[in-house]
Structure 1
Amino acid sequence: MKLENLPPVYEAYSAEYPDLTVCRVVLQEKDLYHVIHKDGMMQAQVSGKFRYDTKTVSDFPAVGDYVMADITGGDRAVIHNVLPRTSVFIRKAAGKSNTEQVVAANIDTVFLCMSLNNDFNIRRIERYLTAAWDSGAVPVVLLTKTDLCDEVTAKIAQIESVAVGVDIITTSVAEPDGYSQITPYLKAGKTLAFVGSSGVGKSTLINHLLGDDRLDTNGLRNDDKGRHTTTHRELIMLPGGAMVIDTPGMREMGMWDSSEGLSAAFEDIEELSAKCRFKNCTHKSEPGCAVQAAIKNGELSEERLSSYEKLKIENAYSEDAEGYLAAKEEKFKKIAKYNKANHKK
């Protein structure tokens, strides 16, 4: 596996750092990385200076990142710089600590995977959509195990009600063409990420795209008792030239500085809020509240409003994390600048 077709946005860095090589992180296990470059793959670690200079957890390399590394020092490369990210999917790290976790970087399309049997949860998909819209990648809702659900059409309609403007596709391991809806996204040079809860069938799906059983699914069965075994993030090259990132199942999908994602995922509520009589309307009992009027008219559900308000509270808590606000503006302004320029094209 080699690094080919380097995106133009990164080509200039080869001249800026003549003693270093552009690499891409394809696997991460704690503090050890595997990177690919123009001549192959090798293990890597960050330099001491890099570790000393980092301000937040998300400053460290993640799967999908392009980095500048010294590959001349033997069997292990030394990473000196993480190049600006064009997109980054971040969540609050699982557990009680209020820190962020990078799930994947430099992805073009993020598939939000959910099975149609025991994993189906509208409120969860709202969380995933919020993080996905905030990442800078294009979200696609991917519903698995259609063969195990008798209400596919009804459940797709529920997803459509909260995922306006987002592609929704379905898959089934039991059908000969059960993965055909994914094919249009598999373009050479594009990076795709699959995220979702344990057991929804992400690794089985990627194995199908690969045409082999490279990823262990530990006997993942075609029923509602799928067992998840992915324990690390990994970028994998597909036969056609597209790249996919497999991620461990998420027990939690906590918000992390996702204000823009909230606005995009809940655009309907934001538009209604702008019509309220008072700018600081809490949508409780104020007169002239357009949000409450929409609920009474059946245009908006109370559950969706409750979900929006809950995610706003979670997001506000993450933004107040000690030491984070001081570092985030510089870290993400290049992403915003890149995406803004590309969205105009």
Structure 2
Amino acid sequence: MPDLNPDRAALGWNPWFAEQARLHCGPADTAARVTSVDRGWLVLLNETGVFRAQLSGNLLHSARAAAARPCVGDWVCVARAGADGFGSVQALLERQTSLRRKAAGAVGEQMIAANVDCVIVVQSCHYDFNLKRLERYLTMVAEGGATPWILLTKTDLVAPEIVEGQIAEIRGAGIAAPVLRLSNVTHEGIDELQRMLVPGQTYCFVGSSGVGKSTLINGLIGHAQQETKTVSGSGEGRHTTVRRELIVLANGAMVIDNPGMREFGLLDAEAGLAGGFADILALAPQCKFNNCTHVSEPGCAVLAAVSAGTLDRGHYDNFLKLAREAKLGALSPAEKRKKERAFGRLVKSAKKDR
């Protein structure tokens, strides 16, 4: 039965997972962490080393939804059998934190990574900096329970005052997450980032394609683990990471790279709004009504701050957009269809009136 051993603890194992293993693992099972998923095969890692495994028939049957199956960062119970050393995954241990989004073009959710301690949101200072997208990322991170950091890359391509202005925008939006600046060319900030990566902790890098995530991880590893392409004439890299992978660094910290994500849907934005809108949520208790929506109510402290210029209008508009998305995401499929039909009738009625 899996327990609290120090070798496994170096991979992120803790009392939470030990208790989950006690409840779900069989006497002959061992616990292992998922480092990558490749066409039905899982690459697993534990104190004995790296090995491959597939889901057992029972788990395949019970975990029909993709999000209920193991992803990078998960802990699983696995039975080792046969001379080939392959394993059979018997159970997925409950996740302590998660990073997920709406599945692109489909109903449901897509797991990005699990059991992540810190999510590092990467934006390039050159062309990629976008405050609204950053707020969206931070909302997703907060919803999953991980700690967010912000990493501004390619500082060598812009003047120092531009970087300072971007940091001022971040702070002006009420975002309190740590902000690091980094250049893979001049190596500014790399030593500071390395000092912040704690052994036994898991860090997931997310951001748009070409912002320098894979190049950065190559530098942290010390060799070209992730393939990268040369920087284009515009200064933006061409992205090549096609699958997620958990990598153990020399100091014992673990990092996960991700394919670029410029657009994504939020599953439970309401639970994560504090991640990017702490300033607005701090004003909410001062509103006249407890159920204030901050749209048109009299005595709304948020609207008063927008009118006074102490709260940025664009920041406020993005808050309303994500709040509406949170409300829509909380509806059942039947409720969503009903809402869509009602909207369709409204459009038809408006056309007839014209």
Q: Give the shorter-chain TM-score range.
A: 0.7 to 0.9
Mean Cα displacement is larger for which, 72-81 or 180-189?
Answer: 72-81
| Pick aligned residue for 1:164 from 175, 192, 201 | 175
Instruction: Return the alpha-carbon distance in structure 2 between the equivalents of residues 148 and 275 of structure 1.
Output: 43
Tell me which residue corresponds to 2:4. none
Query: Is 1:9 aligned to 2:16, yes or no?
Result: yes
Q: Give the C-alpha shift of residue 42 in structure 1.
A: 1.8
Matching of residues 212-291 of structure 1 within 5 Å: 212-220=223-231, 224-291=235-302
**Contact 1:112–1:140 under 8 Å retained in 2:** yes
Percent identity, aligned pairs only, is 39
Tell me which residue corresponds to 2:102. 92
Instruction: Return the alpha-carbon distance in structure 2 between the equivalents of residues 88 and 27 of structure 1.
Output: 16
Letter in 2 for 1:253: F
Task: Rate the CA distance shift 1:258–1:78 in 2: closer, same or farther, 3 A.
Answer: farther
Tell me which residue corresponds to 1:79. 89
**Contact 1:130–1:264 under 8 Å retained in 2:** yes
Query: Is 1:104 aligned to 2:120, yes or no?
Result: no
Letter in 2 for 1:121: N
**Contact 1:69–1:78 under 8 Å retained in 2:** yes
**Contact 2:175–2:277 under 8 Å retained in 1:** no
Mean Cα displacement is larger for which, 108-117 or 50-59?
Answer: 50-59
| Pick aligned residue for 2:66 from 30, 39, 57 | 57
Letter in 2 for 1:17: G
Task: Rate the CA distance shift 1:50–1:264 in 2: closer, same or farther, 3 A.
Answer: same
| Pick aligned residue for 2:199 from 172, 188, 206 | 188
**Contact 1:98–1:321 under 8 Å retained in 2:** no
Residue segments in structure 2 that go unaligned for 5+ positions in a row = 1-6, 335-354
Query: Is 1:125 aligned to 2:108, yes or no?
Result: no
Q: Give the C-alpha shift of residue 271 in structure 1.
A: 2.7
Larger gyration radius, structure 1 or structure 2: 2
Normalising by structure 2, report the TM-score. 0.84
Q: Give the C-alpha shift of residue 255 in structure 1.
A: 0.6
Deviations 1:188-223 (A, max 9, x none): 111111001100000000000011112101224695
Q: How many residues align?
A: 321
| Pick aligned residue for 1:37 from 42, 46, 57 | 46
Tell me which residue corresponds to 1:327. none
- Secondary structure, counterpart of 1:169 in structure 2: strand
Letter in 1 for 2:155: T
Mean Cα displacement is larger for which, 40-49 or 72-81?
Answer: 72-81
Residue segments in structure 1 that go unaligned for 5+ positions in a row = 324-345
Mean Cα displacement is larger for which, 265-274 or 218-227?
Answer: 218-227
Tell me which residue corresponds to 1:316. 327
Q: Give the C-alpha shift of residue 14 in structure 1.
A: 5.6
- Secondary structure, counterpart of 1:127 in structure 2: helix
